[in-house]
Amino acid sequence: MLAAFYTRTGPAREVLTVGEIETPEAGPGEVRVRLATSGVNPSDVKTRGGVRSRELPFPRIVPHSDGAGVIDQVGDGVPPGRLGERVWVWNAAWGRPCGTAAQFVVLPAQQAVPLPANTSLEAGACLGIPALTAYHAVHCNGGVAGKTVLVAGGAGAVGHYAIQFAKIAGARLVVATVSGAAKAALARDAGADVIVNYRTEDVAQRCLDLTAGTGVDRIVELDLAVNLKTDMAALRRDGEITAYGSSLPEIPVPFFPAILKNARLQFFIVYNLSDADRKSGLAGVTALLNQDRLKHNLDGRLPLARIAEAHELVEGGQALGNVVIDVA
């Protein structure tokens, strides 16, 4: 099969190769998916770039955790009725050597989730990381019904879904931060009630003004290192920050503002959701797809041969939404 892979970490153009590798076979409890699309996430790019570790856990890595396609082979113990099923996949490259930047992927049957007929294979490649992350950030610890929510980076792959999930879950007010007009339009389209340009406006003050001085109940945070001080000022007493990203590996915590507000700081990574949280995220996202209630923030579809360009788009922060690779 045709696949993209790397055998050392480094710059996309230097380490990513597109070529023929062996086609995998489904083992017991596994399915093989003939992929149509493969989603590129910041995590895939950081792993390939050696940001977290320069060492590879496997001699050769086919990147990307997200993707969508059709089941074309089932292993022992998997109902043959799943053959031909349209699916989206999650965690394909997490702790595994072979992700979705290939024509086929083999993975445990539960990691291939039925994709409703109304949802494109392109959108299916945005669900494993962006949608499930946003879903958990919004729904964890009792959710946001009746609450006020600040979504940082409301036009991002995760942020765009987070706005939608918060509105659908019954948040009273959803404020989203952006850096300019194009991103403001995306956040508004996702349903944000108020858009704040974090580069030109005082985000904390806007949140206080919008909540009669009390602050917001929950902040869905993509860069805790940069925004923590602002978040602490924008948060209400007993409020919560659900942090899923940070541009720095260590962050000083403003202890006094945090303790005086009884602030809760919830970290999580979507790869390691508990079984119960995973189940709830899969059910929630599937239900909303079936009801046709989700908008997918797709920006750019490139062929597998241009995977290095796709990584650079995500790495440079130029993408306006999810970048998807066409692997069909």
- 91 is a contact residue toward ligand NAP (CB under 6 A): no
Question: What is the residue whose two structure tokens read 């922060």?
Answer: 317
Q: What is the DSSP string of 107-128?
A: EEGGGEEEPPTTS-HHHHTTII
Q: Which stretch binds ligand NAP (CB under 6 A): 19-27, 152-160, 255-263, 282-290?
A: 152-160
Of 24, 124, 128, 156, the one binding ligand NAP by CB under 6 A: 156
Answer for the pair 197, 179: CB distance below 8 angstroms, yes or no.
Answer: yes
Of 87, 155, 195, 207, the one binding ligand NAP by CB under 6 A: 155
Answer for the pair 102, 2: CB distance below 8 angstroms, yes or no.
Answer: yes
Answer for the pair 115, 70: CB distance below 8 angstroms, yes or no.
Answer: no
Residue 69 or 159 with smaller CB distance to ligand NAP: 159
- 90 is a contact residue toward ligand NAP (CB under 6 A): no
Answer for the pair 104, 23: CB distance below 8 angstroms, yes or no.
Answer: yes
Answer for the pair 273, 132: CB distance below 8 angstroms, yes or no.
Answer: yes
Other C-beta atoms within 10 Å of 324: how many?
29
How far apart, in whole angstroms, are the C-alpha atoms of residue 250 and residue 210?
31
Of 153, 215, 239, 281, the one binding ligand NAP by CB under 6 A: 153
- 244 is a contact residue toward ligand NAP (CB under 6 A): yes
Residues in binding contact with ligand NAP, number by CB under 6 A: 27
- 241 is a contact residue toward ligand NAP (CB under 6 A): no
Of 259, 269, 287, 305, the one binding ligand NAP by CB under 6 A: 269
Strands (E) in 23-147, as ranges, are 30-40, 66-74, 86-89, 104-108, 112-114
Of 185, 194, 226, 251, the one binding ligand NAP by CB under 6 A: 226
Minimum Å gap between C-beta 130 and ligand NAP is 6
Minimum Å gap between C-beta 225 and ligand NAP is 9
Q: Which amino acid is at 193?
A: D
Answer for the pair 162, 131: CB distance below 8 angstroms, yes or no.
Answer: no
Minimum Å gap between C-beta 65 and ligand NAP is 10
Residue ranges binding ligand NAP (CB under 6 A): 41-43, 129-130, 133, 152-153, 155-159, 177, 179, 183, 198, 222-223, 226-227, 244-245, 268-270, 317
